[in-house]
Structures are given as C-alpha cells and as structure tokens.
Amino acid sequence: MKSAVRRTLAAVCMASVCALASAGSPEQSLQRTVSFADLDINHPAGAAVLYQRIRAAAREVCRPTSERDLAVAELTRSCVQDAIARAVTEVNAPKLSQYHETETSLLVVARR
C-alpha cells in the first residue's frame, strides 16, 4: 500500500491550483514528490514528520513571486493550505489526518 500511495503522491501531490504557482493551465502546475518510504506513518511521530515534509513542499510550490502585496500573501496562504489538505487526503493515513486536523485547528485559533 505504501508504494501505491507514494506513486499517487508523485503524480498529484502538491499540484497547485493557485495562480501563483503556475500562470499556465492546471496541467502545467508545479508538483513536488514527497517521499515517506522511510517513515512509519501509522505512528504519530512518523505522521508529524511526513506532515512537515508536505508543508515544506507546499510552501515551495506556492511560493509567490512577490511577498509585498497582501492579496498575494493571502493567495499564497490559501494555496499552501489547499496543497497540504489534498496531499493529506491522498495519503489517507489516520494518524496523518489527525495531525492535519490538529494543525488546522491551531491555525484557526491563532488567527482569532
């Protein structure tokens, strides 16, 4: 199962629908492969490491050309969150999903 998920991640993980990531069509969207063959994602520690790798890849893919515009910053934030959520969904691992839910709820609280 792990290899099938990894191949799926290689194909679709981190494909950004954000205009910041790609000025072209969705088929030209940037992608990053996130490897986790070395992790046991059925345990919280492994899920946390994979989540950090996914977050780093999402930030790389969604990196704006300019960080000075607040609208661009908001689009970048949205792009990163969407890329992370889609990658977590693709992996479909309970511990990773739990970690994502915790991280997402912490972001909501921090913004209040």
Could you read off the pLDDT of 20-67 as tens digits, one per residue?
444 444 434 678 889 999 999 999 999 999 999 999 999 988 887 666
Q: How many residues does the chain have?
A: 112
User: Alpha helix locations (H) across 1-112?
Assistant: 2-12, 44-62, 70-91, 94-111
pTM across the whole model:
0.64
Per-residue confidence at 101, pLDDT binned at 50, 70, 90?
very high
100 in helix, strand or coil?
helix
Q: How many domains does the chain have?
A: 1
Instruction: Compute the distance between CA of residue 49 and CA of residue 25 in angstroms, rounded to an integer.
Output: 31
Q: Which domain holds residue 12?
A: 2-111
